[in-house]
Amino acid sequence: MRNQPQNNKGFLDLFLQQIYCLDAYLHERSYLQKLVLEIFLRHFQIIFLGLLEKLNNPIEFYIIDFYLEEASDSMMKAVEHFTKEVSKIRAGKASTSMFDGVVVDYYGSPTPINQVANVNTQDAKTIVIKPWEKNMLEPIERAILGANLGVTPMNDGDFIRIIMPPLTEERRRDLVKKAREVAENSRVTIRSIRRDANEALKQLKSDGASEDMIKTAEAKVQTCTNDNVAKVDEYLTAKEGEIMTV
C-alpha cells in the first residue's frame, strides 16, 4: 500500500513525458494544424496537471473516502427503509401509504396495488380504490384482506371503499410498540454498517495507512452514525405522537 502512491506518481510522470513528445511533434505540422493541436495540448496539460496535484495524496486517502461514502449511502438507505416501513403503520386516519406493501395477483403476476388501481383518500377516515380494470376488484379485495392491515374492504361493484376503524387505547399502544421495534431494527442496521466501515479502516491501518488518518475517518463514521440514528429517533417520535393522537 505504501508504494502505491509512488507508482501512481511514476505513471503520471511517464504520461507527461509523452505529452512533451507530442509538443515536439507540433513543429512538423502546418500552421493551422499547429494552432489546433497547440490549443488542445495546453488545455489538456492544465487539466492533467491539476489531476496530478490531487494524486499527490496517499492512495489510502482515496480508499478511505470510498469507505466513508459507502457507509454514508448505506446508512441513508437504512433510514429511508425505516421511514417507508413506519409509514405503513396506520394511526387511525386514512393514509394511502399503508397500502404500499399490498401486492395483487394480476393475471398470475404479483403486482403492487398502485399499478392496477388508483388509491386515494376521500376524507380523513375513508380510502377509495378504483381499479383500472373492473375484473380486478375481487383480486384487490383478497389482497387487502390477506395483507392483515386491520381494515375491511367494501366492494360496491365499481370501486372498493375502506373506512378506517377507530383505534382503541390498547391498539394504539400496540402500534407504538411495533413502530419502536422497526426503529430499533434500523438502529441495529446503522450500527452494523458502522462496524463494517471501522473494520475496513482497521485493515487499512494494518496495511500501512497513518494512525491519524484512520482516527479522523473513524470520527467521521461515528458522526454519520449519530446523525442517521438521530433521524430515526426524530421520525419515530413524530410517528408515536401521530398514533397516540385521538
CA angle 132, 137, 142 (to 5 degrees): 130
Instruction: Report whether 229 contacts 185 (CB < 8 A).
Output: no
What pLDDT, on the 0 to 100 scale, is given for residue 24? 56
What pLDDT, on the 0 to 100 scale, is given for residue 6? 41
Q: Show the cell assigned to 54.
A: 490531487
Residues of the chain with pLDDT under 70: 1-59, 92, 246
Burial of 113 (0-12, 13-18, 19+ CB in 10 A): buried
What pLDDT, on the 0 to 100 scale, is given for residue 7? 42
What pLDDT, on the 0 to 100 scale, is given for residue 1? 36
What pLDDT, on the 0 to 100 scale, is given for residue 56? 53
pTM for the model stands at: 0.63
Q: Show the cell assigned to 3.
A: 508504494
User: How far lies 231's CA from each of 30, 88, 93, 194, 206, in Å?
Assistant: 64, 18, 24, 16, 33
Q: Show the cell assigned to 246.
A: 385521538
